[in-house]
């Protein structure tokens, strides 16, 4: 069984990548298992300056997932490069995907430029879809023109492939994807979290400190699958699918919908061994479905 895939000219041993914000900087999960089994790791979102994130509480449970409003807490891109990535590389021999967020075009371009000389990073994921950061993040991810202009600016200074992470909280996901592709994006990743909230029925107040947050988990998988299918049908650049993926069957389904690789998000927060289990089950499911090579099923659902 061939589980290897190619992303931006870099060969991954399998398509399974922990999603940004759900796997820390990788080394935290090395306490549980050998993370070298992973295809790659999308690192925790980095901003040009350190961020504490949103006030507590930041998490609310849901029947089929959870809502988070962490707010891009991170030590800042300089510390990520000098401390976090070297720590990760002690446990992971593969190349990494950096994830960058910000409030302005300058925030994004400054942070992206920092990664140009970081040899351990082979691609940069632009988070233009975070619903938990006021004045930034999703502000770039809901308007095609704004997203286009941001990607153009980033591509002018980046020496690495740019993967743009899209929000599902838009009217037309295809228009967003095509705007990013036309601006020079090398790939599209989707979906980020849906916007949701929970209320404490004892107090009558929202559970999350900032009222709303990003809803993720198995409940959003059908929505994510539909959007990956629509985008993969509309663009000619690689698509990385995510959103509620929790099994090897889900990975196969995402790839059949057009994804070249698949990110695993909130499943890591519920079951620390989620990615390991999915990777180990992938050849089993491939044999069951008579799949010899994962590359053969990418976009199989297209008419």
- Give the model's confidence band at 303: pLDDT under 50 very low, under 70 low, under 90 confident, else very high: low
CA torsion 163-169-174-178 (nearest 10°) is: -40
Q: Note whether 219 and 62 are within 8 A (CB).
A: yes
At residue 22's C-alpha, the angle toward residues 102 and 196, to 5°, is 75
Measured CA to CA in angstroms, residue 235 lies from 122, 146, 185, 193, 246 at distances of 22, 19, 11, 22, 26
Asked whether residue 198 is assigned to any structural domain, the reply reads no
- Distance CA(151)–CA(179), nearest Å, equals 9
Percent of the chain with pLDDT over 70: 96
Please write the tens of the pLDDT for every residue from 51-90: 998 999 999 999 899 999 988 899 999 999 999 999 999 9
* Cβ–Cβ under 8 Å, residues 111 and 47: yes
Task: Give residue 193's pLDDT.
Answer: 93
Residues in the chain: 303
**Where residue 134 sits, what CATH number does that domain have?**
3.20.20.70
Residue 246 lies in a domain: yes
Report the share of the chain in percent with pLDDT over 90. 90
CB atoms within 10 A of CB 258: 23
In a domain, 209, yes or no: no
Give the total number of structural domains in the chain: 1
**212 domain-assigned:** no
Q: What is the pLDDT of residue 139?
A: 63
Residues spanned by the domain of 19: 5-55+71-193+217-297
181 falls within a domain: yes
Average pLDDT, the chain: 94
Nearest to 18 by CA among 231, 266, 190, 253: 266
Please provide residue 264's backbone torsions phi and psi, each rounded to the nearest 5 degrees.
-110, 120
**Structure confidence at residue 213 (pLDDT):** 92
Domain assignment present for 64: no
pLDDT at 132: 46
Residue 29 inside a domain? The answer is yes
Higher pLDDT, 72 or 46: 46
Please check the confidence at residue 13 and state whether its pLDDT lies above 60.
Answer: yes
Q: Taking residues 221-233, report their average pLDDT.
A: 98
Of 5, 95, 83, which Cα lies nearest the Cα of 42? 95
280-297 pLDDT, tens per residue?
999 999 999 999 999 999
Q: Can you give the pLDDT at residue 103? A: 87
pLDDT at residue 25 greater than cutoff 60 = yes
Residue with tokens 């004045």: 135
Contact 88, 133 (CB under 8 A): no
Decide: 5 and 260 in contact? Cβ < 8 Å: yes
Given this model, what pLDDT does residue 109 score?
96
State pLDDT tens for residues 128-162: 965 444 444 456 778 899 999 999 999 999 999 99
Q: Specify the pLDDT at position 274.
A: 98
Q: How much is the pLDDT for 53?
A: 87
Catalytic residues: 130
Whether residue 260 lies inside any domain: the answer is yes
Query: What's the pLDDT tens digit per position in 174-205?
Result: 999 999 999 999 999 999 999 999 999 999 99
Mean pLDDT on 247-272: 97
């Amino acid at each position: 069984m061939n589980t290897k895939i190619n992303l931006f000219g870099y060969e991954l041993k399998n398509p399974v990548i922990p999603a940004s914000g759900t796997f820390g900087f990788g080394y935290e999960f090395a306490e549980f298992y050998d993370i070298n089994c992973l295809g790659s790791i999308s690192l925790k979102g980095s901003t040009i300056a350190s961020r504490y994130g949103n006030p507590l509480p930041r998490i609310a449970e849901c029947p089929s997932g959870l809502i988070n409003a962490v707010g891009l807490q991170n030590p800042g891109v300089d510390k990520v490069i000098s401390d976090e990535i070297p720590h990760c590389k002690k446990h992971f021999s593969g190349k990494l995907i950096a994830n960058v967020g910000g409030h302005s075009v300058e925030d994004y371009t400054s942070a992206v430029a920092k990664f140009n000389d970081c040899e351990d990073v082979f691609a940069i994921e632009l988070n233009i879809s975070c619903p938990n950061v006021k004045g930034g993040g999703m502000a770039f991810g809901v308007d095609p023109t704004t997203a286009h202009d941001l990607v153009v600016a980033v591509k002018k200074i980046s020496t690495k492939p740019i993967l743009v992470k899209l929000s599902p909280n838009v009217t037309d996901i295809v228009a967003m994807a095509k705007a990013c592709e036309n601006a020079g994006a090398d790939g599209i990743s989707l979906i980020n979290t849906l916007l949701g909230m929970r209320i404490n029925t004892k107090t009558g107040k929202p559970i999350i400190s900032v009222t709303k947050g990003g809803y993720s988990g198995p409940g959003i998988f059908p929505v994510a699958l539909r959007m990956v299918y629509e985008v993969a049908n509309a663009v000619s650049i690689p698509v990385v699918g995510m959103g509620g993926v929790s099994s090897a069957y889900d990975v196969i389904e995402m790839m059949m919908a057009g994804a070249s690789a698949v990110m695993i998000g909130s499943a890591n927060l519920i079951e620390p061994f989620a990615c390991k289990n999915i990777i180990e089950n992938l050849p089993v499911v491939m044999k069951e479905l008579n799949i010899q090579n994962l590359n053969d099923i990418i976009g199989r659902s297209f008419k």
